Amino acid sequence: MGAVTPVPGQPWVVVDNIGTLVTNDPAAGTGPLGVIHDAAVVLGDGIVQWVGPRSRLPGGGADTRYDLGGRAALPGFVDSHAHLVFYGDRAEEFTARVSGVPYRAGGIRATVAATRAATNAELGANTARLVAEALRSGTTTIECKSGYGQTVADELRSLAIAAACTDETTLLAAHVTPPEFEGRTDEYVQMVCEWMIPVCAPHARWVDVFCEAGAFDADQSRAVLEAGVAAGLTPRVHGNQLGPGPGVRLAVELGAASVDHVTYATDADVEALAAGDTVATLLPGADFCTRGRYPDARALLDAGVTVALASDCNPGTSYTTSIPFAIALAVRELRMSPDEAVWAATAGGAAALRRNDIGSIRVGMRADLIALDAPSHLYLAYRPGVPLVREVWTEGRLR
């Protein structure tokens, strides 16, 4: 999942006989998803070399032909929010929650203890297992946060493990106050700003903070994000997950790439997002697993906010890597149309990661393509829970 690298000797492949192709390029096909029927795509040297109706496919352009038999294809999913570097599980906490115990941010500490106790090999294997699982359900780019280490050394090794799987690494040292700083959150924030961020920044692309009652308030969150920016990182924010709060507006004010959850957004929050260029990343898997309410995606979309969908895969609130599941929830519970949900999980995720080389199928884009065992992308919502992703190409390579 790294940058585009031409692969010497890798045959070019024409993915042919695509019944319905989502390009996310409105100029290439119909509607905002740029849908082309009876399409073909040529993948070569890691990028898209040609895309269009198969009736116009140039002859002799590829070494291998892969026939989809009229099935659907779309860009690989871009999962812009995941916490994959952890150890252990919280199945008992989940079971208690489904019988009525509410979710609290403090549960994160159980995973912090298990993560600190794990070896590098155990942590690396668990992270790689989840990345492979995500790939099987069509995720071709995944962001990966630290945040279950919470010492300089444990955050540093978390980022190194994340970097072995993805370029999209995020320092989330300010996830919750660790036990040794109990009652001294300001001192922990100072330690994060003065030690963790400078030491860890060379190993991360993003800085994130859990801006929420029970985690970090507006001033503490601002301090963390500004220290991250000073160290060369770009901010993203966990905001307004468990209740209304300052997270959304802080993210917009600081020019964060994304604010994530946005479950409790006020009208003022929606207006701020519409006026800024921060993406709202919705994580319906977390709302499902915490039995919380769902965000008002319609208010965001109708206001013109760019919306992404991501998994939030983590052992506490959303132990799923499945973007098809997020799409099904977005359609059923967030009242997004199937087209809006598919866009949010592909081009929306790319926007949330400020990437212009992924999330759509155009000439020159990274050759990350998935094919479904279905005639169209609408089936992702129409057939919930069914593993419809049959083929996955990353950088032109069938996985």
Residues annotated as binding site for Fe(3+)?
A: 81, 83, 238, 312
Q: Whole-number minimum distance, CB 234 to ligand NIG, in Å?
A: 18
How many Cβ atoms sit within 10 Å of the Cβ of residue 154?
22
Q: Is 240 in the site for ligand NIG (CB under 6 A)?
A: no
SS3 71: coil
How many Cβ atoms sit within 10 Å of the Cβ of residue 136?
13
For residues 359 and 368, is the Cβ–Cβ distance under 8 A? no
List the single partner that 311 binds among Fe ion, ligand NIG, none, CB under 5 to 8 Å by kind.
Answer: none
Q: Is 107 in the site for ligand NIG (CB under 6 A)?
A: yes
Q: Whole-number minimum distance, CB 314 to ligand NIG, in Å?
A: 4
Q: Is 212 in the site for Fe ion (CB under 5 A)?
A: no
The angle at the Cα of 172, spanning 295 to 319, to the nearest 5 degrees, equals 55
SS3 207: strand
How many Cβ atoms sit within 10 Å of the Cβ of residue 288?
17
Q: What's the one-letter identity of residue 20? A: T
Binding residue for ligand NIG (CB under 6 A) from 80, 111, 169, 306? 111
- In the range 278-307, which residues lie near ligand NIG by CB under 6 A? 286
Closer residue to Fe ion, CB minimum distance, 312 or 340: 312
Q: Is 312 in the site for Fe ion (CB under 5 A)?
A: yes
Residue nearest to ligand NIG (CB): 316
Distance of CA 228 to the CA centre of its chain: 20
Q: How many residues bind ligand NIG (CB under 6 A)?
A: 12
Q: Is 108 in the site for ligand NIG (CB under 6 A)?
A: yes
String marking each residue 153-172 x if it binds ligand NIG according to CB under 6 A:
--------------------
SS3 390: strand
Binding residue for ligand NIG (CB under 6 A) from 238, 249, 355, 366? 238
* Residues 335, 117: Cα–Cα separation, whole Å: 42
Task: Give the range of 52-60, 251-259, 262-270, 305-313 binding Fe ion by CB under 5 A.
Answer: 305-313
For residues 148 and 112, is the Cβ–Cβ distance under 8 A? yes
List the single partner that 344 binds among ligand NIG, Fe ion, none, CB under 5 to 8 Å by kind.
Answer: none
Q: Whole-number minimum distance, CB 242 to ligand NIG, in Å?
A: 8
Binding residue for ligand NIG (CB under 6 A) from 155, 312, 368, 395? 312
List the single partner that 241 binds among Fe ion, ligand NIG, none, CB under 5 to 8 Å by kind.
Answer: ligand NIG
SS3 49: strand
Task: Give the range of 46-54, 243-251, 308-316, 352-360 binding ligand NIG by CB under 6 A.
Answer: 308-316
For residues 171 and 228, is the Cβ–Cβ distance under 8 A? yes
| Phi and psi at residue 314, to the nearest 5° | -165, 160
* Residues 103, 306: Cα–Cα separation, whole Å: 28
Binding residue for ligand NIG (CB under 6 A) from 115, 169, 170, 241? 241
